[in-house]
Amino acid sequence: MNFQNLKYESRNHIAYVTINRPEKLNALNMAVMEELRTAFTAIKADADIRVAILTGSGEKAFVAGADIGELSKHNTVSAKEYTHVGQSVLDLIENLGKPVIACVNGFALGGGCELAMACTMRIASENAKLGQPEVKLGIMAGYGGTQRLPRLVGKGRAMQILLTADTISATEAHRIGLVNEVVPQGDLIKRAEEIAAKIISNAPLAIQFTMEAVNHGMDMALREGLYLEATLFGVCCATEDKNEGTKAFLEKRAANFTGK
């Protein structure tokens, strides 16, 4: 795949997606969003890819926010469509059926923080800075920040971040649960690859159904979520991977999962 705003490669069952606008601190515009849609649609369809790693080009920023020049031109009607487009791309990433690991290098502000939150997990470099500064521009988060942030860190902390527009450090983001781990910048991709390797060693369908149970269960009452979990557990038990996994365990050997 050829992109103007992304770098894309795949190896060892991992897709690497890098937003490549370092001169703009990888700011998001509609061209970037549509290329992200294309890339992740392809990743979803490619059975050989089991995990994706998403990051930004350079050492200064994962994504420093939206392209303000583009954003400033919107009116009521076009702005609503603008947010729907962005939300649909982030929803694709969140519900890809394959884990997406955000490697947050440097600034992840506004749409960049929202993009990271749509990923399955977030690994941050020690120099990472995260926040939702939209209210400083007279607008509000529009790519899911008001919805995903409270689910990750709780209502009170989310309100403080959203309403003060404060930028928080990687250490603080880790403390409140916004990022999973903080590592030296030079180890960021390596650590993501270590996590990806562990995921890849497990059954693909079990990974997919686990993600579905968590993502959809978050929007359900506990009783409904438990019913969804039981249903997906039953589906897992009808797979060849379940037969292989249990047989391998009893035979004390590594399982050879096929995603069937």
Residue range 28-49, pLDDT digits in tens: 999 999 999 999 999 999 999 9
CATH 1.10.486.10 applies to domain 6-200: no
Give percent of the chain with pLDDT exceeding 90.
86
- As a whole number, mean pLDDT of residues 70-74 equals 73
- As a whole number, mean pLDDT of residues 97-121 equals 97
Q: Is 134 a catalytic residue?
A: yes
pTM of the model: 0.94
- As a whole number, mean pLDDT of residues 186-209 equals 96
Mean of the per-residue pLDDT values of the chain: 94
3 state SS for 194-259: HHHHHHHCCCHHHHHHHHHHHHHHCCCCHHHHHHHHHHHHHHHCCCHHHHHHHHHHHCCCCCCCCC
Of 7-21, 54-68, 75-89, 139-153, minimum mean pLDDT range: 75-89
Phi/psi at 22 (5° precision): -60, -30
Task: Write down the catalytic residue from 34, 134, 229, 251.
Answer: 134
CATH 1.10.12.10 applies to domain 204-250: yes
Task: Write down the catalytic residue from 35, 114, 224, 229.
Answer: 114
| pLDDT above 90: residue 72 | no
Tracing tokens 């579905």 back to the chain, one arrives at 212
The domain limits of the chain are 6-200, 204-250
| pLDDT above 80: residue 150 | yes
| Domains 6-200 and 204-250 belong to one CATH topology | no
How confident is the model over 78-104, as pLDDT tens digits? 877 888 888 999 999 999 999 999 999
